[in-house]
A = this chain, B = another copy of it.
Amino acid sequence: GAYNKIASLSAEERSRGVLAYSSGNHAVAVALSAKLFGIPATIVMPADAPRAKLERTRALGAKVITYDRLRESREEIAARVKAEHDLPLVKPFDDALVMAGQGTIGLEIADDLAALGVSEAAVLVPASGGGLAGGVAIAMGDRARVYAVEPEGHDDLARSRAAGRIVANAPGVRSICDALMAQEPSELTLSVAQDNLAGVFAVSDDDVRRAMRFGFDELKLVIEPGGAAGLAAALKGLASRVEALVVVASGGNVDAEMFADMLART
């Protein structure tokens, strides 16, 4: 997503660098993409983001500006930096080009399903602002039913979809899914969700820990909390029975202490 957006800018537009805000994985993606284009990146990240994400973003050469997630608005900070330095903003989800780039995962899934001869599939995708899930749903079209999965209490996409308008999460609700903490979908992602998603599920922190443990025991994969939301929904049997169930594990940037705590609790 980040790469697709940056690649779509003219050389002149991106010459002085790019700006982004992100809870972590989009930050890493923007930092890596900027490095590939040989341009600087300035990224606004919550001060309490996992160290793995902050360190990885900095290691890729990005300038990181941290903020207090409970008291400050990342959009406002980004707007200020943008006004000062006139840098193009690479949004984490509210951008058709970002959604299209993230949606290429759907094309890969479609290729795999075709190779396996599977004609009926459900795809479970973790959702924060709904860009990844919406992009995958558009890319797959009628080749699969695509479901978004949110943390309980951060079910803004489900409630917005039900209400037919943007409904924000209650402030201060906590979740271990640091990657899925967007306050609300955008007009764009809500519209895409209404037209393209088969449904939206919610999972609890304990569901997510059990999914991370399943990843450790059975898949031998390190999956971060937010990345495991789709797997958690699958393990709970939330998706309707179909020929194939596909899970997108959308990140593995988890701090060692958090992972050890999950292992001890499950």
Interface residues on A, range: 10 to 19
Indicate which residue in B217, B259, B260 contacts A52 across the interface (CB closer than 8 Å). Answer: B217
- Residue among A217, A223, A259 having the largest count of chain B Cβ atoms under 10 Å: A217
The docked-state distance in angstroms from the alpha carbon of A221 to that of B249 is 13
Q: How many identical subunits does the complex contain?
A: 2
Query: Inside 8 A of A52's CB, which chain B residues have their CB?
Result: 217
Indicate which residue in B221, B256, B260, B263 contacts A221 across the interface (CB closer than 8 Å). Answer: B221
Interface residues of A in 157-194 (CB under 8 A from B): none
Secondary structure of the A contact surface, majority rule: helix
Contact A252 B220 (CB under 8 A): yes
Interface residues of A in 227-266 (CB under 8 A from B): 252, 256-257, 259-260, 263-264, 266
Query: Inside 8 A of A217's CB, which chain B residues have their CB?
Result: 52
Residue of B nearest to A251 (CB): B220
* In the complex, A107 has a CB within 8 A of chain B: no
How distant is A58 from chain B, measured CB to nearest CB, in Å? 15
The docked-state distance in angstroms from the alpha carbon of A44 to that of B263 is 28
Query: Inside 8 A of A215's CB, which chain B residues have their CB?
Result: 222
Indicate which residue in B213, B221, B266 contacts A220 across the interface (CB closer than 8 Å). Answer: B221
Query: Inside 8 A of A222's CB, which chain B residues have their CB?
Result: 215-216, 220-222
The 8 closest A-B pairs by CB, nearest first: A220-B252, A256-B263, A260-B260, A220-B222, A260-B263, A216-B222, A220-B221, A222-B222
Residues of A within 8 A of B (CB): 52, 213, 215-217, 220-223, 252, 256-257, 259-260, 263-264, 266
